[in-house]
Amino acid sequence: GKLVFEGDTKYDVLMKCGEPTFKDRQHQETVTQTHSLTVQKEMRTVEIWLYNLGSHRFTQLLEFQNNKLMRIKTGEYGYEKSDPQRCMGNQVANGDTKPEVRMKCGEPTHKTQFQEERLVTVRNPQSQPYPIVLHLQVEEWTYDLGPNRYSRILKFHDGVLVELKMGERGHR
């Protein structure tokens, strides 16, 4: 019943809303053009909090950057309990965050983390385009759905689902 607003601190939100159902923290590298000839690479920490309010209410997704609430997003209806079988159908989609996937599917059987490099071309009016390398956090989650089903492999870039594919038959 207490309202939170963009600009609130994590502490303020915690005091008003309690602990979120799921949290995720990502370190994202970005490029900003500060002047027509100057480009700056920045590393920022983004934290996503998901509040699952049950199957009859919408989830709330809160995005923090450097301890400040930057965005509040109302999601879909929540779930009473996680179920890996949801990872089979269309209930998980590109654009879902890691907390949303955990809410729907539960904890994955296996997680792998690594970095990929992304080449970004920067253009400014006074010079030739030139490339800048950004580092992208990548995580792959595998859900083993049992010996009669194919496993599901979910790939996240900076905490957002970008690919969902079938793997080998499960082992459990």
Instruction: Find the mean pLDDT for residues 53-67.
Output: 94
DSSP state letter for 170: P
- Dihedral of alpha carbons 76, 78, 81, 82, sign: positive
Amino acid code (one letter) for 99: P
pLDDT at 91: 85
Nearest to 157 by CA among 140, 171, 145, 134: 140
**In 32-84, which ranges are continuous DSSP H helix?**
none
C-alpha angle 137/140/145, rounded to 5°? Answer: 160
Query: With bands split at pLDDT 50, 70 and 90, how would you rate the model's confidence at 22?
Result: very high
Beta-carbon contacts of 100 under 8 Å, excluding residues fewer than 6 positions away, are 50, 59, 61, 75
Q: What's the pTM?
A: 0.81
- What are the tokens at 150? 């194919």
Q: What average pLDDT does the structure give for the chain?
A: 88
- Rounded average pLDDT over 63-73: 95
pLDDT above 70 for 124: no
Say which DSSP state 107 is in: S
